[in-house]
Structure formats: structure tokens, C-alpha cells
Amino acid sequence: MENSQMKLLSRTAIVAALYAALTVALSPIAFGPLQFRISEILVLLVVIEKRYITGLTIGAVLANYFSPLGFVDMVVGGSATFISLYLMTKTTNLYLAAFYPCIVNGIMIGAILSYFYALPFWLISLQVFIGQVGVIYLVGIPVYKYLVSRNQELISKIKI
């Protein structure tokens, strides 16, 4: 296997494991109608390197195995993650890119939570959206901007 392929494979596995481990470790706040999934900060990696889509999607699917909704959350949550990340790669504006996971997860995760918990769709969607905004905009973007402005060496290592 070529060195660049090995690098891609190993980093994909690390990102997937990190996303899943963070989500499961913080599961009391990562699942349910009101969720703050700290691992969602990692979605900003695709702004630096688009090929992290695979690792982040796999990480979401693995993490959602431990969700109270299990297989349904694996499929819908994994799909929401993939769609969000794909949309993120289509823009160069950090704030717009960060908005995609908020809106996509708000709608898709809100829909399954609304269905399974018999709660109002718009309320649950809004709660998921607010949780995403809190994690990504209040924590993720400041950390991202700090790293980009202060540590170009780290940023260059993140690229595959």
C-alpha cells in the first residue's frame, strides 16, 4: 500500500475512533431530544481536509450504535452527518459551512426523535439545532480559528 493511502486510511480510522469515543464517553449529553454532542466540533476538520468526510461519517455511525435508537440512529444520523459534511465541502465560508450540520441534524435528527418520542417536530428540531449551534459556533469555531491563527504547523499536519 502506498504511503499516502496508508496515511489516509490511518487518519480516517483515528478520526472515526475519536468521534465515536467522544460521543460515547459523553453519551448523557450526546443523545436524546436535547443534545450537546461535543464530538461535532470535529466536523470542522472537513474545512481543512475534505477527505475526513469518511472518518467522521463512520465515527457517527459507530457512535450511534450506542444510541437509545440504535440502528435507526445509525442510518439516519450517519446520513445526516454525511450530507452535512458534503455540503460543508461545497463552501469556503467557515460560518456557512458550520451552519450545515446545525440545519441538517436539526431536521433529520429532529424528525426521528419526534417520531420515536412522540414529541412536536419543530420543538425537537429546534432543540437539536440549538445544541449544534452551541457546540459548533460557541466552541468549535473559536478553537478552529485559534488553531489556524496560531499553529500552522498543526494545520499542515491535519492535511492528508
pLDDT tens, 121-138? 999 999 999 999 999 999
Q: Domain ranges for the chain, please list them.
A: 3-158
Would the CA dihedral through 97, 98, 101, 106 be positive or negative?
negative
Q: What class is the 3-158 domain?
A: mainly alpha
pTM: 0.94
Summarize pLDDT for 101-160 with one digit per residue, the tens. Answer: 999 999 999 999 999 999 999 999 999 999 999 999 999 999 999 988 887 887 888 887
